[in-house]
Amino acid sequence: MRTDLVVVGLGYVGLPLARRAHEAGLTVLGYDVSDAVVAGLDAGRSHVGDVSDEQLAAMRAAGFRAGTDPSVIRRADTVVICVPTGLSARRRPELGAVEAASRTVAAHLRTGTLVVLESTSHPGTTDDVVRPTLERTSGLRVGEDIHLGYSPERIDPGNKEFGLPNTPKVVSGCTPLCAKHAVAFYSRFVDTVVVSRGTREAEMAKLLENTYRFVNIALVDEVALLCDHMGIDVWDVLHCAATKPFGFEPFTPGAGVGGHCIPVDPHYLAAKADAEGFPLTLVPAAQGVLDRMPRHVVNRAAALLGETTGRSLRGARVLLLGVTYKPDVADVRETPAIPLARGLRAEGAELVYHDPYIPEFAVDGAVISRAASLTEALNDVDVAILLQGHACYDTSMVGRAGCPVLDTRGKVAGARTALL
């Protein structure tokens, strides 16, 4: 029995893709190497915030199934690879999951199948890593027997305005015929398809999108550091600058950057540039600024505590408000709360956290106590640090807390509140 689509990798990219394809009337199956992920989906539990349990139930009612048996790939007209790409301990690209997924897909390919890579990687990955693996293992030729393309994911977890249907989709192919097949596939469930000249251009476009954000966040972080040094209100500076109707896009400072994309993707670009003998200067400079931010927050918290209570951080109870990497999502990937917690612990602070989205938060294997009540926690700690402005947080109440509050998001006003 044939199926329109098999999604390889059912994480925050793959599962929403499967849902959207299902909504558009495609038959969809999923493959993942994680027994836990598959068991959860088979039990009707979604582990991805952008796909509800109700939406998953509708998918399953229409025939969607997840499994760990890769033989389902043989049934697919289209296979989309959505596996994670990360960094090594030395911040170098780690493509193990893409390589493994390519071998698995290759072992089960049949003539006529379209394969698309959506995982973020450096230019050349589709042509130089995926293509040789598919051809060597399957014996099929890309552009003749099978079709191969690249389409960078543009998933923004928690975004209520832009999702898969209305976010323009960049699509490319290893050959013009491959691109034609990829366009035909994505046009079935995406409003706007943008055809790239080739896979390397599409891969580079993805890295540019997130490196642009990476560098600009670092810029406003450095401006925030300078404003603190000069006694200038950085939030008023940003408010005033953002009123310009052209030539300026606002970014906001904070304790660091998080999520899977922004802290990771620029390093793929930098590593490729190094390999080409053309090392970048802005990316490592931006990383240097971002690396300073958790320590800056620790120092600001120590200064605030000393000014208001005369105490140091040693032995002080510190409340972290919002430990996710962005507001209103249940996701702690690369969250700046982790290096901040390390810095606070190094100063001898006792940590407590509050986050309605995260039932348990551990740093380096040590679980941090969770405050059940925000009101009680604010009256039971020595200093609080607002890291994420979740919509459920009453910032006026936080501003009236019995403890001093360090606001890293520019949202709280109060006599004992200090800004980043």
Mean pLDDT over each residue of the chain, to the nearest integer: 95
In a domain, 140, yes or no: yes
Mean pLDDT value of segment 392-403: 91
Mean pLDDT value of segment 316-334: 95
In a domain, 255, yes or no: yes
Q: Are residue 41 and residue 101 in the same domain, yes or no?
A: yes
Mean pLDDT value of segment 352-381: 94
Tell me which of 197, 216, 243 is where a domain ends.
Answer: 197
Q: Are residue 193 and residue 256 in the same domain, yes or no?
A: no
Q: Determine the pLDDT at residue 68.
A: 97
pLDDT in tens, 43-63: 999 999 899 999 999 999 999
Q: Determine the pLDDT at residue 158.
A: 87
Catalytic site includes residue 261: yes
Q: Determine the pLDDT at residue 260.
A: 87
Mean pLDDT value of segment 73-100: 94
Q: Determine the pLDDT at residue 419.
A: 86
In a domain, 209, yes or no: no
Q: Are residue 277 and residue 325 in the same domain, yes or no?
A: yes
In a domain, 66, yes or no: yes
Whether the predicted pLDDT of 415 surpasses 80:
no
Share of the chain above pLDDT 70, in %: 100
Q: Determine the pLDDT at residue 417.
A: 84
Mean pLDDT value of segment 62-91: 95
Q: Are residue 119 and residue 19 in the same domain, yes or no?
A: yes
Q: Are residue 245 and residue 129 in the same domain, yes or no?
A: no
Q: Determine the pLDDT at residue 384.
A: 96
Q: Determine the pLDDT at residue 414.
A: 80
Distance CA 225, CA 248 (A): 20
Count Cβ atoms below 10 Å from residue 226 Cβ, excluding itself.
Answer: 12
Q: Are residue 249 and residue 394 in the same domain, yes or no?
A: yes
pLDDT in tens, 214-266: 999 999 999 999 999 999 999 999 999 999 999 999 999 999 999 989 999 99
Q: Determine the pLDDT at residue 413.
A: 84
Q: Are residue 340 and residue 271 in the same domain, yes or no?
A: yes
Q: Are residue 283 and residue 191 in the same domain, yes or no?
A: no
Q: Are residue 187 and residue 319 in the same domain, yes or no?
A: no
Domain that holds residue 255: 234-419
Q: Are residue 190 and residue 260 in the same domain, yes or no?
A: no
Q: What is the pTM of this model?
A: 0.92
- Banded model confidence at residue 35, pLDDT cuts 50, 70, 90: very high
From 174, 261, 392, 403, the catalytic residue: 261
At position 289, the amino acid (one-letter code) is V
In a domain, 45, yes or no: yes
Q: Determine the pLDDT at residue 233.
A: 94
Q: Are residue 175 and residue 279 in the same domain, yes or no?
A: no
pLDDT in tens, 139-153: 999 999 999 999 999
Q: Determine the pLDDT at residue 416.
A: 81
What CATH number is given to the structural domain containing 89? 3.40.50.720
pLDDT in tens, 268-315: 999 999 999 999 999 999 999 999 999 999 999 999 999 999 999 999
Q: Determine the pLDDT at residue 282.
A: 96
Whether the predicted pLDDT of 328 surpasses 90:
yes
In a domain, 179, yes or no: yes
In a domain, 354, yes or no: yes
pLDDT in tens, 150-209: 999 999 988 999 999 999 999 999 999 999 999 999 999 999 999 999 999 999 999 999
Tell me which of 168, 197, 226 is where a domain ends.
Answer: 197
Tell me which of 173, 197, 221 is where a domain ends.
Answer: 197
Q: Are residue 88 and residue 168 in the same domain, yes or no?
A: yes
How many folded domains does the chain comprise? 2
pLDDT in tens, 103-117: 999 999 999 999 999
In a domain, 89, yes or no: yes
